[in-house]
Amino acid sequence: MKKIQLEIVALSHSVAQSQNYAVVLGEKNGSRRLPIVIGGFEAQAIAVAMERMVPNRPLTHDLLRNILQIYHVDLQEIIINDLHEGIFYAQLICLQNGQLKEIDSRTSDALAMAVRFECPIYTYESILERAGVVLEVAEENVSEENSAEAKAVSKKTTKRSKRLSAYSVSELHQMLNEVLENEDYERAAEIRDEINKREQ
């Protein structure tokens, strides 16, 4: 079966299920998107790794990565290998002592691990045909596409971001340390974005 490489292109609140999030995977060198609904905890685990935040205590996926590394297990890739009744299934493809091992995983956990190991994400053509959506936005309108994919996030954060603009950079750094101690990684990402905007 032909494997298709994917990459994470968006992470936002799910429009269909308000308590959940949606991670949108994009076909590398292609126009198809694969949206997958995930829980809030899993979305946080993916976001923390993508934003390269360092929590005070290791999150579950960080702990698992540390254990794998101690036992010299390298995560080579993840494969979203099945779709049954609307539920995606995945496998971690690991290498230990020259032997490949396949480990079943929830897709959200597999994605959280892939971000931490910086390994490729794949699916099969048959899954993209069944659950993928074709991006019909022209290349020159990519900014509009990004805006549409992040619509739920921007609505939620605009009000809070405006409040951040009232603080100095040193105050923002102090706030960042406080929210990281409280493990509020969503707020930490907003503060970090504001700091980056000021420092550019």
Both 164 and 83 in one domain: the answer is: no
Share of the chain above pLDDT 90, in %: 39
Both 119 and 172 in one domain: the answer is: no
Q: What is the CATH number of the domain that holds 27?
A: 3.10.690.10
In a domain, 102, yes or no: yes
- The pLDDT assigned to 143 comes to 41
Q: Taking the mean position of all CA atoms in its chain, how far away is CA 75?
A: 17
In a domain, 145, yes or no: no
| Phi, psi dihedral angles at 36 (to 5 degrees) | -130, 125
Convert the pLDDT of each residue in 71-119 to its tens digit: 999 999 999 999 998 899 999 999 999 999 999 999 999 999 999 999 9
Please report, in angstroms and rounded to a whole number, the separation of the first and last CA atoms in the chain.
Answer: 45
Both 125 and 155 in one domain: the answer is: no
Q: How many CA atoms lie within 13 A of 129 on its CB side?
A: 5
Both 92 and 11 in one domain: the answer is: yes
pTM of the model: 0.68
The structural domain count of the chain equals 2
- The pLDDT assigned to 146 comes to 45
In a domain, 144, yes or no: no
Both 44 and 109 in one domain: the answer is: yes
In a domain, 108, yes or no: yes
Convert the pLDDT of each residue in 11-53 to its tens digit: 877 555 556 788 999 999 888 999 998 988 888 889 888 888 8
Both 120 and 23 in one domain: the answer is: yes
Both 70 and 50 in one domain: the answer is: yes
In a domain, 167, yes or no: yes
Q: Report how far residue 89's alpha carbon sits from residue 154's, in angstroms, rounded to the nearest whole number.
A: 29
Both 168 and 124 in one domain: the answer is: no
Query: What residue numbers bound the domain in which 189 lies?
Result: 150-200
Q: Report how far residue 80's alpha carbon sits from residue 58's, in angstroms, rounded to the nearest whole number.
A: 26
In a domain, 143, yes or no: no
Residue 163, by phi and psi: left (phi above 0), alpha (psi -120 to 50) or beta?
alpha
Domain boundary among 118, 138, 158: 138
Both 122 and 171 in one domain: the answer is: no
Both 128 and 52 in one domain: the answer is: yes
Both 111 and 57 in one domain: the answer is: yes
Domain boundary among 90, 110, 138: 138
Please tell me the total number of residues recorded for the chain in this structure: 200
The residue behind tokens 């609140």 is: 13
Count of beta carbons in the 10 Å neighbourhood of residue 5: 15
Q: In what order do the strands lie in the sheet with 133-134?
A: 99-106, 87-96, 74-84, 121-124, 3-13, 21-27, 32-38, 133-134
Convert the pLDDT of each residue in 133-149 to its tens digit: 886 554 434 444 444 44
Both 94 and 180 in one domain: the answer is: no
In a domain, 64, yes or no: yes
